[in-house]
């Protein structure tokens, strides 16, 4: 499986913030976010620059499982990049982790859905809004075309409602202009306010501090949950912590 990094840390985002977790960061993404602020996504070494020499390369699922066991964590967070671009391998990985009783959070942009959803504990779905489009780059068109897959988003919500897994809908927020788009997605995919988490856009402490207050006010105004980025508060933008 194409892997960027494997490490033990605390979950930094969403409803399981602070839970000790083993992170499986897959390499590659089908999108190329660049936010309105000009910031690239917070893991550009998996998306814009997947050839980064610090990425681990191909790692067998057995080896990943071995490292998970060594970590001693009950939780594991499969993140990226976009894990679902390797959907067959992801299915095997999730199946093996589930056999061990792991609490599996899958962080995904929600563009791809497949069998792997049957083994996860929490789907952390983070659809990308129009403020993520990398205007003026070679990826503008493909990002715009691929960033939303409404049937896939619906499947995530339907499976949550069937009890297959728990869910959170997490949005990187650049400002109030994002809210109308979130509301439209809610209408199309059917998810509730109580499952929505707004997260301030930013890749370092300065950005997060600046954007947290605005995001918190939006949460109060629209009845959404707030999530910070604990790992950035604690360790700044460092990799693998």
What residue ranges bind ligand SF4 (CB under 6 A)?
29, 31-33, 41, 43, 46-47, 80-82, 109, 128
At its nearest, how many Å lie between ligand SF4 and the CB of residue 26?
A: 9
Q: 15: which DSSP letter?
A: G
At its nearest, how many Å lie between ligand SF4 and the CB of residue 133?
A: 11
Could you tell me if 81 and 47 are in contact, meaning their C-beta atoms sit under 8 angstroms apart? yes
- Cβ proximity to ligand SF4: between 65 and 197 the closer is 197
Distance, CA of 184 to CA of 193 (rounded, Å)? 12
At its nearest, how many Å lie between ligand SF4 and the CB of residue 163?
A: 27
What is the biggest distance separating any 2 CA atoms in the chain, rounded to whole angstroms? Answer: 47
- Cβ proximity to ligand SF4: between 71 and 131 the closer is 131
At its nearest, how many Å lie between ligand SF4 and the CB of residue 32?
A: 5
Q: What is the three-state SS of 127-146?
A: CCCHHHCCCCCCCHHHHHHH
- Cβ proximity to ligand SF4: between 43 and 86 the closer is 43
Residue 63 neighbours by CB under 8 Å, 6+ apart: none
* Closest-approach residue to ligand SF4 (CB): 41
- Cβ proximity to ligand SF4: between 81 and 202 the closer is 81
Number of Cβ within 10 Å of residue 94's Cβ equals 24
Strand order in the sheet with 196-200: 57-58, 2-10, 20-26, 75-79, 103-108, 122-125, 166-173, 196-200, 225-226
At its nearest, how many Å lie between ligand SF4 and the CB of residue 43?
A: 5
- Cβ proximity to ligand SF4: between 2 and 32 the closer is 32
At its nearest, how many Å lie between ligand SF4 and the CB of residue 166?
A: 21
- Cβ proximity to ligand SF4: between 107 and 157 the closer is 107
Q: 159: which DSSP letter?
A: H
Crossing angle of the two packed helices 177-189 and 150-161, in degrees rounded to 10: 60
């Amino acid at each position: 499986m194409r892997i960027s990094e494997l490490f033990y840390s605390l979950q930094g985002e969403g409803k399981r913030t602070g839970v000790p977790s083993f992170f499986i960061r897959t390499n590659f993404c089908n999108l190329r976010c660049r936010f309105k602020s000009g910031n690239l996504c917070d893991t550009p070494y998996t998306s814009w620059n997947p050839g980064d020499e610090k990425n681990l390369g191909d790692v067998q699922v057995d080896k990943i499982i071995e490292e998970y066991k060594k970590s001693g964590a009950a939780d594991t967070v499969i993140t990226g990049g976009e894990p679902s671009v390797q959907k067959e391998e992801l299915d095997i990985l999730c199946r093996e982790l589930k056999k061990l009783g792991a609490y599996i959070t899958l962080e995904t942009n929600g563009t791809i859905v497949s069998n792997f959803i049957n083994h996860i504990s929490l789907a952390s779905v983070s659809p990308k809004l129009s403020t993520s489009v990398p205007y003026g780059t070679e990826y503008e068109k493909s990002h715009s075309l691929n960033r939303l897959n409404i049937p896939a988003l619906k499947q995530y919500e339907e499976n949550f409602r069937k009890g297959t897994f728990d869910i959170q809908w997490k949005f990187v927020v650049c400002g109030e202009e994002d809210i109308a788009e979130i509301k439209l997605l809610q209408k199309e995919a059917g998810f509730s306010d109580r499952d929505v988490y707004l997260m301030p856009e930013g890749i370092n402490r300065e950005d997060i501090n600046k954007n947290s207050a605005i995001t918190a006010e939006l949460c109060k105004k629209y009845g959404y949950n707030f999530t910070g980025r604990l790992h950035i508060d604690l360790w700044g933008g460092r990799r693998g912590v």
